[in-house]
Amino acid sequence: MGEEAPFDTRLALAVGGDGDAAAKTTDADGTGTRKKLRLTKEQWDFLDNRYRENSSLTPMQKPELADLLNLRPRQVEVWFQNRRARTKLKQKELDCEFLKKCCESLTEENRQLKEELQELRSVNSRQRLSCDSPRQRH
DNA sequence: AGCGTCAAGAGGGTAT
DNA sequence: ATACCCTCTTGACGCT
């Protein structure tokens, strides 16, 4: 995967284009099922830029961003929360990959060392054999 | 149909 | 007590 572009063709449909994203989040149709909100690419990019500057919100930033992007402060808060979680998960995956490589190279090193040891042992036993054999008298 | 992604809810921890 | 965070979970949605 990777830090792929989070948006695709759905983008155009996000928040229905009326700008009132917040109103679309919960039970908008009165059926008890909450509607799925997708932030627009612009909203996402804006939040992402702010996230890259600072991964946590200052108390001033939350209402400011919410106002700017026409979202509820809670939505901005949740976005940052989820963004941090995604970053952390991504890092875990990278760490895991790194450890896997370490493990592979150590396994290979171990294999080579065992091979060397085996070789040394057989050389050693051959030498002992030749020393221990009865000496020929003339 | 199953899967991945994302926004949001729930619940618990911590600092002030 | 309340504001903020983290983690896990849920539900909607698009894609294959």
Exposure of A8 by Cβ count < 10 A (0-12 exposed, 13-18 middle, 19+ buried)? Answer: exposed
**Mean pLDDT, rounded, for A55-74:** 93
Q: CA A47, CA A41: separation in Å to the nearest integer? A: 10
- Cβ neighbours for A69, distance < 8 A, ≥ 6 positions apart: A43, A46, A47, A76
Angstrom distance, A66 CA to C6 C1' = 22
**Residue range A36-40: mean pLDDT, rounded:** 89
pLDDT of residue A37: 86
Segment A72-124, tens digit of pLDDT: 999 999 999 999 999 999 999 999 889 999 999 999 999 999 999 999 999 99
Residue nearest to nucleotide C8 (CA to C1'): A85
A74 beta carbon < 7 A from strand B? Answer: yes
A26, A34 contact by CB (below 8 A): yes
Separation of A59 CA and B15 C1' (Å): 15
* Cα torsion A48, A52, A55, A56: sign: negative
Query: pLDDT confidence of A32, banded at 50, 70, 90?
Result: low
Q: How far is the CA of A92 from the C1' of C10 (A)?
A: 23
Confirm whether any atom of chain B, the nucleic acid strand, is less than 7 Å from CB of A25.
yes
- Give A59's Cβ-side CA count (13 Å radius): 0
Between these two residues, A75 and A25, which has the higher pLDDT value? Answer: A75
User: Residue A8: what pLDDT?
Assistant: 37
Does the pLDDT value for residue A60 go beyond 60? yes
The more confidently predicted of residues A16 and A32 is A32
Strand B nucleotides, any atom under 7 Å to a protein CB: 4-10
Judge whether residue A40 contacts strand B, using its CB and a 7 Å cut-off.
no
Query: Which class is domain A9-19+34-125?
Result: mainly alpha
Query: Domain limits of chain A?
Result: 9-19+34-125
Its pTM stands at: 0.74
Mean pLDDT across chain A: 79
More confident residue, A35 or A93: A93
